């Protein structure tokens, strides 16, 4: 029988992978070589570094990561040894984009500046960045795109250099993979020069990887006022992140932007299907019978007044109150064992359903907000 070891934070592991073999779960940060002596398949998340020191001398022949990237996996070591690698690209794209919407609405409200008519520089326009662009445009935000690999591949003039993208944008958001070397290296790409090129008083968001930001340079930019708001979901040295950077951030969350319930389940299913293909077995699966109902199936905003953005902020915050995640991380980092609490916040993260599970009733005389809400993914109706 196939022996499968799975990170405990991968949902529905038993329901999916239990169809294929014997499943055991462990905390991702605690998975070591000794745990893999009789394991054929390893399913991880980003906290487990998969390399020779972990896999050397083990029978593991398939590694799946329930994440969109593989920067924590030494693919150069695995592939020559015939160890298959699978990931879940795009699984959390909508989750991250909804997080960005919630963050932008919160920042704009605090600054007293409407989002409509503003400009956002989207750095990295893959699965996540593309969805961010779609949602930003739904809010009436002009998008400036930077993605050198895609520009080289397509010659699309919509992609511009950082020198053009950064100076005119009120918001800058990172959606790049972590690349430590090569022409498109992103490690600490957001350093002193990056922040100096940003428009004074702009807002900076990072939901990609903590290592793409030089936190010393970001701290200096915040302290000087050059960056007015930093909204950070990812950090250097996770889980032992810098409490001072948390305090500097306008919005600080524990690496959960892509943690919508939908995104996590999608990633599990994608890895199950990849493993089935590797085993040459049928990959059909239906989890509908075990999935919980959405927390906010219906929302009535017909008695709300104000600008479109006010109604959209009310709808978004009812489904996903990003402030709760911010408060939880700040409380955790105020404790001596902040690193342990950081991981615990992720492990025990609530079931956050995406916008499309909620039907919003909006005033019938507000067609513009109805269109925007629908483009954000809500099911929309009028009285």
Give the pLDDT confidence of 335-380 residue by residue, as tens digits.
998 888 999 999 999 999 999 999 999 999 999 999 999 999 999 9
Q: CA 194 to CA 215: how far, in whole Å?
A: 12
Residue 286: its pLDDT value, please? 87
Decide the pairing of beta strands 227-232 and 379-381: unpaired
Residue 290: its pLDDT value, please? 83
Residue 241: its pLDDT value, please? 97
- For the sheet containing 84-86, what is the strand order? 21-26, 2-7, 41-44, 62-65, 84-86
Residue 270: its pLDDT value, please? 96
Return the closest-CA partner of residue 88 out of 63, 64, 62, 67. 67
Q: Which of 248, 255, 346, 352 is catalytic?
A: 255
Cβ burial, residue 187 (10 Å; 0-12/13-18/19+): middle
Which two structure tokens, joined as six digits, stand for 214?
């030089």
Residue 214: its pLDDT value, please? 98
Give the pLDDT confidence of 78-111 residue by residue, as tens digits.
999 999 999 999 999 999 999 999 999 999 999 9
- Domain spanning 2-87+261-279, CATH architecture: 3-Layer(aba) Sandwich (3.40)
- For the sheet containing 227-232, what is the strand order? 142-146, 119-123, 171-174, 202-206, 227-232, 251-252
Cβ(169)–Cβ(133) below 8 Å: no
Residue 288: its pLDDT value, please? 82
- Mean pLDDT, residues 109-133: 97
Give the pLDDT confidence of 168-208 residue by residue, as tens digits.
999 999 999 999 989 999 999 999 999 999 999 999 999 99
Does residue 164 have an active-site annotation?
A: no
Give the pLDDT confidence of 245-299 residue by residue, as tens digits.
999 999 999 999 999 999 999 999 999 999 999 999 999 898 888 888 999 999 9
Q: How far is CA 362 from the centre of its chain?
A: 29
- Residues sharing a CB contact under 8 Å with residue 22, sequence separation 6 or more, in sequence order: 1, 2, 3, 4
Mean of the per-residue pLDDT values for the chain?
A: 96
- Mean pLDDT, residues 59-78: 94
Question: Where is 231: in which H helix or E strand?
Answer: strand 227-232
Residue 302: CB atoms within 10 A of its CB come to 13
Confidence of residue 155 (pLDDT cuts 50, 70, 90): very high
Task: Return left, alpha or beta for 173; rule: phi > 0 is left, psi -120 to 50 is alpha, else beta.
Answer: beta
- Residues sharing a CB contact under 8 Å with residue 1, sequence separation 6 or more, in sequence order: 21, 22
Confidence of residue 383 (pLDDT cuts 50, 70, 90): confident
Fold that domain 93-236 belongs to in CATH: Rossmann fold (3.40.50)
Residue 176: its pLDDT value, please? 97
Give the pLDDT confidence of 211-252 residue by residue, as tens digits.
999 999 999 999 999 999 999 999 999 999 999 999 999 999
Residue 338: its pLDDT value, please? 83
Residue 69 confidence (pLDDT) above 90:
no
Which two structure tokens, joined as six digits, stand for 4?
């499968």
Q: Which of 98, 170, 211, 238 is catalytic?
A: 238
Residue 321: its pLDDT value, please? 98
Residue 7: its pLDDT value, please? 96
Residue 337: CB atoms within 10 A of its CB come to 9
* Residue owning tokens 């955790």: 332
Residue 71: its pLDDT value, please? 86
Q: CA 251 to CA 320: how far, in whole Å?
A: 14
CA angle 14, 15, 21 (to 5 degrees): 60
Say how many Å lie between the first and final Cα of the chain, rounded. Answer: 57
Does residue 305 have an active-site annotation?
A: no
Residue 15: its pLDDT value, please? 94
Alpha-carbon distances of 253 from 169, 230, 366, 370, rounded to whole Å: 23, 11, 33, 30
Confidence of residue 145 (pLDDT cuts 50, 70, 90): very high
Does residue 209 have an active-site annotation?
A: yes
Residue 125 confidence (pLDDT) above 90:
yes
Which two structure tokens, joined as six digits, stand for 285?
């699966």
- Interhelix angle 367-376/308-319, nearest 10 degrees: 30
Query: What pTM value is reported for the model?
Result: 0.93
Q: CA 217 to CA 194: how far, in whole Å?
A: 9
Q: CA 355 to CA 316: how far, in whole Å?
A: 8
Q: Which of 106, 131, 209, 248 is catalytic?
A: 209
Q: How far is CA 35 from the centre of its chain?
A: 29
Residue 50: its pLDDT value, please? 97
- Mean pLDDT, residues 324-331: 98
Which two structure tokens, joined as six digits, stand for 125?
């326009």
């Amino acid at each position: 029988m196939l022996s499968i070891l799975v990170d405990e934070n991968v949902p529905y592991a038993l329901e999916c992978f239990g169809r294929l073999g014997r499943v055991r779960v462990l905390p991702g940060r605690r998975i070591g070589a000794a745990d893999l002596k009789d394991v054929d398949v390893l399913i991880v998340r980003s906290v487990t570094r998969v390399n020779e020191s972990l896999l050397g001398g083990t029978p593991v022949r398939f590694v799946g990561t329930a994440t969109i990237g593989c920067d924590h996996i030494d693919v150069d070591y695995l592939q020559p040894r015939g160890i298959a690698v699978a990931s879940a690209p795009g699984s959390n794209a909508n989750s991250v984009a909804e997080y960005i919407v919630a963050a932008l609405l919160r920042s704009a409200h605090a600054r007293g500046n409407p989002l409509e008519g503003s400009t956002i520089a989207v750095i990295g326009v893959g699965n996540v960045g593309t969805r961010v662009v779609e949602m930003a445009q739904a809010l009436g935000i002009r998008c400036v795109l930077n993605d050198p690999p895609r520009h080289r591949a397509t010659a699309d003039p919509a992609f511009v250099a950082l020198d053009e993208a950064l100076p005119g944008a009120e918001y800058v958001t990172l959606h790049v993979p972590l690349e430590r070397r090569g022409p498109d290296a992103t490690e600490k790409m957001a350093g002193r020069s990056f922040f100096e090129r940003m428009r004074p008083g702009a807002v900076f968001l990072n939901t990609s990887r903590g290592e793409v930001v030089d936190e010393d340079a970001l701290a200096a930019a915040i302290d000087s006022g050059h960056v007015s708001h930093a909204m950070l979901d990812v950090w250097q040295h996770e889980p032992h992140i810098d409490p001072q950077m948390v305090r500097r951030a306008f919005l600080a969350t524990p690496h959960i932007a892509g943690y919508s319930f939908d995104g996590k389940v999608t990633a599990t299913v994608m890895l199950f299907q990849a493993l089935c293909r590797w085993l040459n077995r049928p990959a059909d699966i239906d989890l509908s019978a075990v999935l919980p109902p959405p927390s906010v199936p219906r929302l009535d905003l017909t008695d709300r007044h104000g600008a479109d953005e006010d109604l959209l902020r009310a709808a978004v915050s009812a489904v996903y109150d990003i402030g709760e995640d911010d408060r939880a991380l700040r409380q955790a980092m105020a404790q001596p064992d902040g690193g342990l609490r950081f991981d615990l916040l992720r492990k025990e993260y609530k079931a956050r359903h995406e916008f499309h599970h909620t039907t919003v009733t909006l005033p019938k005389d507000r067609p513009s907000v109805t269109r925007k809400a629908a483009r954000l993914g809500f099911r929309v109706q009028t009285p």
